[in-house]
Amino acid sequence: QKEVEQNSGPLSVPEGAIASLNCTYSDRGSQSFFWYRQYSGKSPELIMSIYSNGDKEDGRFTAQLNKASQYVSLLIRDSQPSDSATYLCAVNLQAGTALIFGKGTTLSVSS
Amino acid sequence: GAVVSQHPSWVICKSGTSVKIECRSLDFQATTMFWYRQFPKQSLMLMATSNEGSKATYEQGVEKDKFLINHASLTLSTLTVTSAHPEDSSFYICSASSGEQYFGPGTRLTVT
């Protein structure tokens, strides 16, 4: 059974700190990896996608992928209270197929 | 960026009635659309995969006769919850794919 595991949290960090979110996946055939942010009562919003090993940076966000360890992470630098949300890790085997979601990690950034 | 809309954003209906939810990709053509359901404090659960012009593929445990999906065009998919019951109350979210997936804003269904 294909699974995506995340620590549910909550992860609490002070404003300005680095938040580190982690995710592991079970299917070695997974090809695409995504991080979504979901505010309470809203639908998920795509933050980052990553397809190859290594780091990918976009503004304050850095996604890291290690296929050998079946591990993907998201770093949020200079965390802001507005970053407080649930972060969902998702993977799929190929483009156009359904995403498999983790249960999400709740991040709380205190001012 | 890619925009996906859903209508209605929320709906309250009585037990036994049917509700239709529309999902539209506004600025791109989506060969595949997905329907998810999310209960409070839980992650998204895939209900079905919908390809334009063909029958939807339902996940195990999802009743295809209860959750009717129609994908009539490359920009529109509909989900009809038939004979709704209170346990069908949930947040229904569609996503459209042109490679990456983009989510609609969701529809909150409450069945009384």
For every residue of A28-66, DSSP letters joined together read TT--EEEEEEE-TTS--EEEEEE-SSEEEEETTEEEEEE
CA distance A23 to chain B (A): 14
Question: Tens digit of pLDDT for each residue in A72-106?
Answer: 999 999 999 999 999 999 998 887 788 899 999 99
Whether B31 contacts chain A with CB within 8 A: yes
Which single residue is written with the structure tokens 């009717």?
B68
Strand-pair category, B32-38 with B90-97: antiparallel
List chain B residues with CB under 8 Å of A42.
105-106
- Among left, alpha and beta (phi > 0; psi -120 to 50; other), residue B74 is alpha
Per-residue pLDDT at B101: 84
Interface of B with A in 67-96 (CB under 8 A): 91, 93, 95
Per-residue pLDDT at B110: 97
Question: Tens digit of pLDDT for each residue in B1-43?
Answer: 689 999 999 999 999 999 999 999 998 888 899 999 999 888 8
Per-residue pLDDT at B99: 73
CA dihedral over A17, B1, A2, B109, signed as positive or negative: positive
Q: What is the mean pLDDT of residues A11-31?
A: 95
- Mention every residue, 6+ apart, whose C-beta is less than 8 A from residue A75: A18, A19, A20, A21, A61, A62, A63, A64
Per-residue pLDDT at B19: 97
Per-residue pLDDT at A8: 85
Per-residue pLDDT at B108: 97
Query: How many Cβ contacts (< 8 angstroms) between chains A and B?
Result: 46
Per-residue pLDDT at B79: 97
Question: Tens digit of pLDDT for each residue in B33-85?
Answer: 999 999 988 888 999 999 888 889 999 999 999 999 998 888 999 999 999 99
Give the C-alpha separation, B93 to B34, whole Å: 8
Tell me which residues of chain A have a C-beta less than 8 Å from any C-beta of chain B.
34, 36, 41-46, 49, 88, 95-104
Tokens of B77: 């998919």
Banded pLDDT at A1 (limits 50, 70, 90) = low
CA distance B18 to chain A (A): 23
Secondary structure class of A9 (helix, strand, coil): coil
List chain A residues with CB under 8 Å of B42.
103
CB A97 within 8 Å of CB A9: no
CA distance A17 to chain B (A): 26
Could you count the other beta carbons within 10 Å of the beta carbon of residue B28? Answer: 16
CB A99 within 8 Å of CB A91: yes
Give the C-alpha separation, A64 to A73, whole Å: 5
Nearest to A101 among B43, B99, B106 (CB): B43
**Mutant choice from B5, B7, B43 vs A, greatest count of A C-beta within 10 A:** B43
Which single residue is written with the structure tokens 């809309």?
B5
Per-residue pLDDT at B61: 93
Q: What is the mean pLDDT of residues A22-50?
A: 93
